[in-house]
Structure 1
Amino acid sequence: MSDNSIQINVGKQIQKLRESKGLSQQDLAAKCNFEKSNMSRLEAGRVNPTLSTLEKVAKALEVTLIELFSF
């Protein structure tokens, strides 16, 4: 597994969960107190998020942290 494949898969999972809840990137970014551009990079797998960042996203999506890694 390449170094960035996990962050790409986590990003895709965040996008899938966000879309399943009917949220736009802007909506989720606002719930996390992030800029939309940061949410876009996160979903695209172009950043290596901290656990703190992932925890904020999971709480905003009302899922467990583990669900972000269910791919």
Structure 2
Amino acid sequence: MNTKEEKYFQKLGAKIKQLREEKGIDQKAFAFDCEIGRTQLYMIENGRTNPRLLTLMKIADGLEIPVSQLLEI
């Protein structure tokens, strides 16, 4: 990943974490509800991975927002 991509994924991860915390859901429970691994969610929230579209769809569904809103950063 180049620097621009890294910054984007860091911002995306921070947004996911913020929205999850605003709902008062801990990381383990949220990952379970979204049917993704807790480690995978941790990596996404810390901007260390490029999440697949299906994963982003699951996260957006768990946050009860459209994927488009999730990607607006």
- Once the two structures are superposed, residues 24-65 of structure 1 have per-residue CA deviations (whole angstroms, 9 ceiling, x without a partner) of 101110011122111111100100011111011000111111
Moved over 6 A (4+): none
Task: Give 1:65's aligned residue.
Answer: 67
Q: Percent identity?
A: 32
Amino acid at match of 2:24: G
CA distance in 2, matches of 1:39, 1:2: 21
- Any gaps of 5 or more consecutive residues in structure 2? none
- Any gaps of 5 or more consecutive residues in structure 1? none
Give the TM-score, by structure 1 length. 0.90
CA distance in 1, matches of 2:56, 2:64: 12
Task: Give 1:6's aligned residue.
Answer: 8
Q: Which of 52, 55, 62 is equivalent to 1:53?
A: 55
Matched, 1:40 2:42: yes
Displacement of 1:70 in angstroms is 3.0
Task: Give 1:19's aligned residue.
Answer: 21
CA distance in 2, matches of 1:33, 1:2: 29
User: Between Structure 1 and Structure 2, how many residues are aligned?
Assistant: 71
Displacement of 1:69 in angstroms is 2.2
Amino acid at match of 2:35: N
